Amino acid sequence: MSDIVQILSFDKYIAPLEHTSDGRMAATHLASVKWIDNKAGRFYVKVYPKCHPRGLINEITGYLVAHASGIPQPKKVAVIQIPKEAIENNFEGDFECSGDYYWGWASEESGTTPNTYLKMENMVAFNQCIELLKKWKSFPNMLAFDDWVANQDRNTGNITIKGYNDFYVIDHGNVPVSEKWAKEHLVVESVYENKLLDGLYQGNNYPLPLSASLIESSKEHPEAFRKAHRELIKWCNALLDEESSSHLQHFLEARAHLSVSRIKDKTRLLVA
């Protein structure tokens, strides 16, 4: 079985194309990148600064777990070496350098975010996007995933839309919790903020069909963790110290087995 997250050497990074305002936490930009088949494409690339030391492992963790959960995401993702000058000539910040290059996260371009309409002050189009999002077949799956992995930053800047009922989840920099997490922040029994869910349905006033769908999605979490774990353990051991690696894996696995009870408590749905 081939790896889901690829590794691209610095010669695959062709050139930066433009900055993006949706990715504020890292040197996020659109770049021309060659894939493993040497075909060039447009990729969003992130380099996390030293002050956000968990950013890269979070992106990998979130992508692998979401992939195992069947949530639509960009199909091509990689950890990529970025030539030193490409970052230093275009961005300000204190980034972790490895010789002549930086390590970054690359994901294939996959549509525009609903925030695009906010920038154009087109609230009608923005609200239409939100209503379409609520009808998206993977909407409950995504919300249940965010609850599981303690993603407190799901918003309209990290979901892209390509067409009717065609959304993609991007940006896992806060999976879990934040780009600065330490072991004490990852508490299995904690109830973490679910920004998008809580914002759309204030006061935990969820429609009954959504509540039932959230619980059904949560039932799949233990198996999703099992699927993601083979590749996840490799990256955890490569990018984290042994204690942090073990703690993160335990946090995700234990929460997966508690997902149903956690969602039942949140939705106050007694039978499912």
Q: What is the mean pLDDT of residues 209-236?
A: 97
State the chain's mean pLDDT as an integer.
90
In contact, 46 and 23? CB cutoff 8 Å: yes
Domains of the chain: 6-108 (3.30.200), 115-267 (1.10.1070)
Strand pairing class (77-83; 29-34): unpaired
What amino acid is encoded at 59 in this protein? E
Q: Which helix (H) or strand (E) holds 63?
A: helix 55-68
Q: How far apart are CA 95 and CA 148, in angstroms?
A: 30
Per-residue pLDDT reduced to its tens digit, 9-40: 999 999 999 887 654 556 889 999 999 999 99
Per-residue pLDDT reduced to its tens digit, 143-184: 999 999 999 999 888 888 887 788 999 999 999 999 999 999
Per-residue pLDDT reduced to its tens digit, 86-132: 888 888 778 877 788 999 999 999 877 766 654 556 677 778 888 88
For residue 272, the model assigns a pLDDT of 46
Predicted structure pTM score: 0.93
